[in-house]
A and B are shown apart, each in its own frame.
Chain A
């Protein structure tokens, strides 16, 4: 043992004064499935943290061997006792065990040290990189900001995904739902959004929080690895409540995530939080509620399932004094059914939703966003003038293309105008395609959409549009970096910038005649 440790122990012993403070206690009368019935604790309050006393009757050596303290969260106050969920291993609790009240409502630590780290639903490090030195405790349940404290959404949050930034724009402080079947790229959209924040200047870059609820640990590990490799972990925190953790922690994880987000928002910073996914949180809450013997309602969900999500998502806002939380909740649907109980609840709570469709995904259109039924209710107010100018007609053009495409299956003869529209629509679909993990900075998006709107790709074979687009982007990067920087800086596409882009288009076409071979 080193001298510092010895000194520390001696100092601590000197400070020991016999404690005579009484603790408010109860006894475990029943335990099972992560839920305990406790007799006593008549002064306990809802959401209070209790500690299970594991050392009673054990020798000091044995009680020192237990893995930290075991906590419970009071969720039901009953006539002759309370019911609590165990925030840890159920096997550590036994009947007759003393349970101490702490008088504290559940809080999680938050600090700048958490950036780049993976934490569990209680805010404790889960990546083996050691404890946090200095933290501030943030309440897990907190009333959302009121009307007076809020400000309208007017600052864009760029996702780096052309289809979203152009047609379903998201603003800072908005809640935009990502909904779709499994395997349609919901998480990819969310992760690309985190990756794209690297394109933001450091002082305006939002802190990103990715909350993994009921996910496979391998998936979360892969995401952490991807973020680390692409340099996005330095502004990201991962709150992990994998499928192997108790339902109570899966239910708590989104609340812990937003509590950490509020710590940064209170300092005037912008935060982006992703809940992946709230369907699994609802399932965990249903399990917990049934075990707590709360009356089941539709699909066996408890009566307050709507309130569970509404109070969570209401905490996303933009504050008058500065700072915001933008929430991107994810909901998984079954067989594309968006009329399910949980999907409709969350659709009605959020400020818009983007639907990811399996059919589009299977056709190779990625991100597989169905722009016809996806909306953003407040984001357009946050779109830059440049983007508004170039993206105005795209949604309509694509909607018309989809209609014509369906009609085309029955018609053999098409007039020239219809045929042109279909050709143009096909190329626009190609332009909006994007690889995963490759978000595009907003100024490049503006340039691409501008040239696409000016028939730049009209003579490019459909299957080569993506490749030509990539080449043109490289060309702009190399030859017109100043123009791109100007678009980024001003957020506008002035007549002069338009002229420059027209020149760039012509230059590129002349230099790469072989690419423009099809009329």
Chain B
């Protein structure tokens, strides 16, 4: 129940309604229906939606070493343009398991140009560890 109310609140604010007005409108509605007790749970559900949406819109660039950051950033320029993200919005993460190269993830897009990925693919091809449905 609280999930639906939180979703509605999120859509109201996204639709351009001021946050205060939206919350007041929701409170009035809950009062009318005798469901004011739901408010704290709606708040928590709203926070979860915000967190999820943040993850969905956030973009992470992973590199194997700190010194690879500059090269990786210039390599992902075109990709960022394609998905409509400004370079400054990108979070950079160091992940030494990548071995080399970079990996960009966010906005339902994944570009994996890491050495680990290439080596894994190579391993699968050589050993025939690729499923027949692939």
Q: Which residues of A contact B (CB under 8 A)?
A: 5, 8-9, 12-13, 16, 18-27, 29, 39-43, 49, 51, 55, 57-60, 63-64, 68-69, 71, 80, 98, 100, 102, 106-109, 122-124, 131-132, 135
CB atoms of A8 and B132 under 8 A apart: no
**In the complex, chain B residues whose CB is within 8 Å of the CB of A12:** 122, 125-126
Task: From B55, B79, B108, name the one whose CB has the most chain A CB atoms within 10 angstroms.
Answer: B108
B134 within 8 A of A: yes
8 contacts between A and B (CB under 8 A): A19-B111, A23-B110, A40-B56, A51-B134, A55-B116, A60-B99, A71-B133, A109-B133
Question: How big is the B interface, by class?
Answer: 35 or more
Task: From B55, B110, B113, B130, name the one whose CB has the most chain A CB atoms within 10 angstroms.
Answer: B110
CB atoms of A57 and B131 under 8 A apart: no
Measured in the bound complex, the distance between the Cα atoms of B83 and A24 in whole Å is 11
Known contacts A12-B122, A16-B118, A40-B56; A22/B133 CB under 8 A: no
**In the complex, chain B residues whose CB is within 8 Å of the CB of A68:** 129-131
**In the complex, chain B residues whose CB is within 8 Å of the CB of A63:** 116, 120
B91 within 8 A of A: no
CB atoms of A21 and B131 under 8 A apart: no
Measured in the bound complex, the distance between the Cα atoms of B109 and A25 in whole Å is 5
Of A20, A25, A106, the residue contacting B133 (CB under 8 A) is A106
**In the complex, chain A residues whose CB is within 8 Å of the CB of B109:** 22-25
Of A8, A58, A124, the residue contacting B131 (CB under 8 A) is A124
CB atoms of A22 and B134 under 8 A apart: no
8 Å CB interface, B72-127 against A: 75, 79, 82-83, 95, 97, 99, 101, 105, 108-113, 116-120, 122-126
Known contacts A16-B118, A20-B111; A27/B55 CB under 8 A: yes
Besides A19-B117, A22-B110, A59-B97, 12 new A-B residue pairs in contact (Cβ under 8 A), listed by A number: A19-B118, A22-B109, A41-B108, A42-B108, A49-B133, A55-B116, A58-B97, A60-B97, A63-B116, A68-B130, A71-B134, A98-B110
CB atoms of A5 and B126 under 8 A apart: yes
Q: CB-nearest residue of chain A relative to B75?
A: A20
CB atoms of B132 and A131 under 8 A apart: yes
Q: CB-nearest residue of chain B relative to A21?
A: B111
Shortest beta-carbon distance from B91 to chain A in Å: 15
Measured in the bound complex, the distance between the Cα atoms of B134 and A123 in whole Å is 12
CB atoms of A25 and B105 under 8 A apart: yes
Measured in the bound complex, the distance between the Cα atoms of B65 and A201 in whole Å is 68
B128 within 8 A of A: yes
Q: CB-nearest residue of chain B relative to A99?
A: B110
B41 within 8 A of A: no
Q: CB-nearest residue of chain B relative to A131?
A: B128
Task: Give 3 closest A-B pairs by Cβ, nearest first.
Answer: A25-B110, A23-B110, A109-B132
CB atoms of B120 and A64 under 8 A apart: yes
Measured in the bound complex, the distance between the Cα atoms of B128 and A362 in whole Å is 52
Q: CB-nearest residue of chain A relative to B96?
A: A59
**In the complex, chain A residues whose CB is within 8 Å of the CB of B112:** 19, 23
B52 within 8 A of A: yes
